[in-house]
Chains A and B, each alone.
Chain A
Amino acid sequence: GQQLNQSPQSMFIQEGEDVSMNCTSSSIFNTWLWYKQDPGEGPVLLIALYKAGELTSNGRLTAQFGTTRKDSFLNISASIPSDVGIYFCAGLDSNYQLIWGAGTKLIIKP
């Protein structure tokens, strides 16, 4: 099945740094979602985006729905230890099926 291109695959950062990750697709989506998976748990929805150009925040997290409708971005400001985990992007296609990225693993250097 189709998969989104999510990058980077992993990130090693210092506590306090800002983080950026993105997802791109060859297809247009009408909805983009960002999920986070804590170690040992299932993914949890962070942010949902429904309109091209939309910018939505959830605490220190900000996500954007790209204007071409083929990409989305997630930024985390001033990272803290509990931000570690795997971040997944997902797009809702025209058949109302979710298409997933492979995930970005965030690791915070001690």
Chain B
Amino acid sequence: DAGVIQSPRHEVTEMGQEVTLRCKPISGHDYLFWYRQTMMRGLELLIYFNNNVPIDDSGMPEDRFSAKMPNASFSTLKIQPSEPRDSAVYFCASSWVGGPEETQYFGPGTRLLVL
């Protein structure tokens, strides 16, 4: 398997623009997580899905952030409008609860810079 795939790998945009981050989880995994990582706050969970259904979005910073999972192989995280404080690395991770351990498999991340 190719692992968790994220695109784009890097994104530079101007304040106020819409940003869409994409994730393809590992086939067969039924949980999908979106994280944000910064030097100041570390790795923070934003939202997670189980079987394509959002379960907990309490980590989403504000209404400017939204996430969808239209099917088992694709998810998006959208920021509209973007602000400089949204600059961070965004990771998508997936897991398979039926597996031997409750581990999460992370993608390579999208490095977002909002000017």
Q: Do A and B bind each other?
A: no
Chain B residues at the A interface, C-beta cutoff of 8 Å: none
Chain A residues at the B interface, C-beta cutoff of 8 Å: none
